[in-house]
Amino acid sequence: MTILTLIFLLPILAAIALAFVPRNFAVIMRAVAVGVTFVTMLLAVQMFWQFNGAPADEHGYKFVGTIPGLGAESLGIACKFGVDGLNVGLVLMGAIVAFAAACCAFEIQSREKEFYLLLLTMTGGILGAFMSLDLFFFYFLHELALVPTFIMIGVWGRGERRNYATFQITLYLSFGALLALIGLIALYLQMPADARTFAIPALTQYFAAHTMALGAQNFIFPLLLFGFGILVSLWPFHSWAALGYSSAPSATAMLHAGVLKKFGLYGLIRVALPMMPEATQGWMTLLAWLCLGNILYVGWVAIRQKDLNLLYGNSSVAHMGFVFLGIASLNLVGVTGAVLIMVAHGFLAALTFGLSGFIYHHTGTLVMCELGGLARRMRFIGTAFVMAAMAGCGLPGFLNFWGEITVFFGAWTEPALRAVVVLAIWGALIIGAVYMLRAVRTVMHGPSDEARAYAPNVADATLWRKLPYALLIASLLVFGFFPRLLTEKIKPVTEQIVSLATAVRTAPDSAPAIIAEVPGAPAAPLRTAANP
């Protein structure tokens, strides 16, 4: 039993245990959820702390452990967990966000049992998906976390368009996940029949040595790109996100926008890039231009929103564009920056949706023109709100800044991406500032209107309620001041992934030699430089 299996099992077992608690004991449900996520978070912090000193296995993964009994040996499936620099930050972020989400779930007043059960399932599922070294569990655990999202929005969601939002997010994400699943199965089938396995390290190693057929790559890669892309709200498949988040209960929005959404990006970096370099190189130009759809277009859409949550939802979609830009740059600096943003945005998205949930709880509305001057009586929340806005427009001091700036520097070194970078910087510096400051101006600043119906209810957070926000802001600041805590861990992995993804394996002379190493491998066709 390693620390990782604990991190996964704890929330899952707690969820199962909750099923046996009678539904009258709502306080116990809440205490269990908060307590378990708290312990999970402590474990994740400890794991992050010990990461540098821990021994690594031959693929560079640390804390590797399996849960015996789960999986199917004959199919090459095993429930195996491990972390390297790529996912260690994500696991830490996910655990912190899960605890913050559990704290912010106080607004749930009905069917607490089911809610907390689903919340714990979601937590365990997504943390497991990030840690999984097995393609099957990687996918399965993500689905385990995804399905509760739909139920939570449908049952505990808010607003008139709740049902529509539930339908749309369910269908959209299921479709995306389905595309990715087809891609992953096709990937699995590319292995020779006797060596088939779902183990990610083995797959990576195999496809590093044996180039996948170009036809297969060009079939599988777009499936993964757009399947994962839909899960990450890649433009133009983004319209589920803002609506879904605005209708979701805040804990769900925090976990989904913060943590679950990073799954697609993680999958792209972990699976698609290193295993299919030729297709990757061919598709990255398109991805770079699509990311402008996120950054500019969705940014502009965010400027026009009248509902705070729709604004935050669109802003979260816009931020994904920077990650895509980092991936599209396909170099060490850019991809490292992309991972930094993934972590940073997790904290930020959780913070924003947590704050909007708090405001909604006190005012009963998130329509911005009905709010105003809240900072006078919500001092702490007002401060956190301004900090979230500043982190959202990439202000130094917050981790988001390092992510964005690293992506820009990385992408700038690719001459083909210069124009994209210029526009993306416009999106980061100007558009981001416009919508974020607009939110601050209308919601927090200005005169407070005592005539409003909600005015008597407006009060600042109590010490206990402050905790999740303080924790998320502190995380952003700590990594914002000491980005090396993350980059030093991420760098070796991204370096390896980038070198795999950018490998030019065109020399016809050496190709047969590689094939000769493994008998029974499908003959790799000769190919030229991979830009179609």
Partner 1 sequence: MNLEALPWLILFLPLLAAGIITLFTLHHQAVSATLSIGAICAGFVLTLALIKFGGWDAREVSVHWLAVGGFNVNFGLKLDALSLMMLLIVTGVGSVIHIFAYGYMRGDSGFSRFFACMSLFTFSMLGIVLATDFLQLFIAWELVGLSSYLLIGFWFEKPSAADAAKKAFITNRLGDFGFILGILTLWFWCSSLNFTDISHGLVDWKGPHWFLTGAGLLIFCGAVGKSAQFPLHVWLPDAMEGPTPVSALIHAATMVAAGVYMLCRVFFIFTPEALTVIAWIGGFTALLAALIAVQQNDIKRILAYSTLSQLGYMVMAVGLGGPTPAMFHLTTHAFFKALLFLGAGSVIIALHHEQDIWKMGGLRKKMPVTFWTFLVATLALCGVPPFSGFYSKDAILAQALHAHNYALFAIAAFVAVLTTFYMFRLFFVAFLGEPKASAAEHAHESPGVMIWPLRILAVASIVGGLIGISELFNSLFVGAAAENAGPANVFTQLIEPFQHTPVAAFGGLIAVVIGFLAAKALYTKAKNDPLPAKLGALSRAMANRFYFDEIYKATVIRLHDTIAAIADWIDRWIVEGFCIGLVRGGTDLTGRALRLVQTGNLQTYAFLFVLGVAVVLWFVLGR
Interacting residues with partner 1 (CB under 8 A): 168, 236, 239, 297-298, 300-301, 303-305, 331-333, 336-337, 373, 375-376, 386, 390, 393, 395-397, 401-402, 405-406, 408-410, 412-413, 421-422, 425-426, 429-430, 433-434, 437-438, 440-441, 444-448, 483-484, 487, 491
Question: In the bound complex, what is the minimum distance in angstroms from residue 383's beta carbon to partner 1?
Answer: 8
Cβ proximity to partner 1: between 18 and 443 the closer is: 443
For 259-372, where are the alpha helices, taking DSSP H only? 262-267, 273-275, 277-292, 299-303, 308-329, 332-363
Cβ proximity to partner 1: between 189 and 369 the closer is: 369
Residue type, 340: L
Classify residue 107 as exposed, middle or buried by CB count within 10 Å of its CB (0-12, 13-18, 19+): middle
What whole-number distance in Å separates Cα of residue 242 and Cα of residue 293? Answer: 15
Cβ proximity to partner 1: between 20 and 464 the closer is: 464
Cβ proximity to partner 1: between 141 and 301 the closer is: 301
Question: In the bound complex, what is the minimum distance in angstroms from residue 266's beta carbon to partner 1?
Answer: 19
Question: In the bound complex, what is the minimum distance in angstroms from residue 198's beta carbon to partner 1?
Answer: 32
518: left (phi over 0), alpha (psi -120 to 50) or beta: beta
Cβ proximity to partner 1: between 154 and 446 the closer is: 446
What whole-number distance in Å separates Cα of residue 64 and Cα of residue 351? Answer: 31
Cβ proximity to partner 1: between 11 and 427 the closer is: 427
Cβ proximity to partner 1: between 35 and 60 the closer is: 60
What whole-number distance in Å separates Cα of residue 175 and Cα of residue 167? Answer: 12
- Give ∠ CA 392-393-394 in degrees, rounded to 5: 90
What whole-number distance in Å separates Cα of residue 146 and Cα of residue 508? Answer: 45
Question: In the bound complex, what is the minimum distance in angstroms from residue 279's beta carbon to partner 1?
Answer: 24
Question: In the bound complex, what is the minimum distance in angstroms from residue 363's beta carbon to partner 1?
Answer: 17
Cis amide linkage into residue 236, ω under 30° from 0: yes
Question: In the bound complex, what is the minimum distance in angstroms from residue 184's beta carbon to partner 1?
Answer: 24
Q: Which of 174, 201, 189, 234 is nearest to 57 (CA)?
A: 201
Question: In the bound complex, what is the minimum distance in angstroms from residue 387's beta carbon to partner 1?
Answer: 10
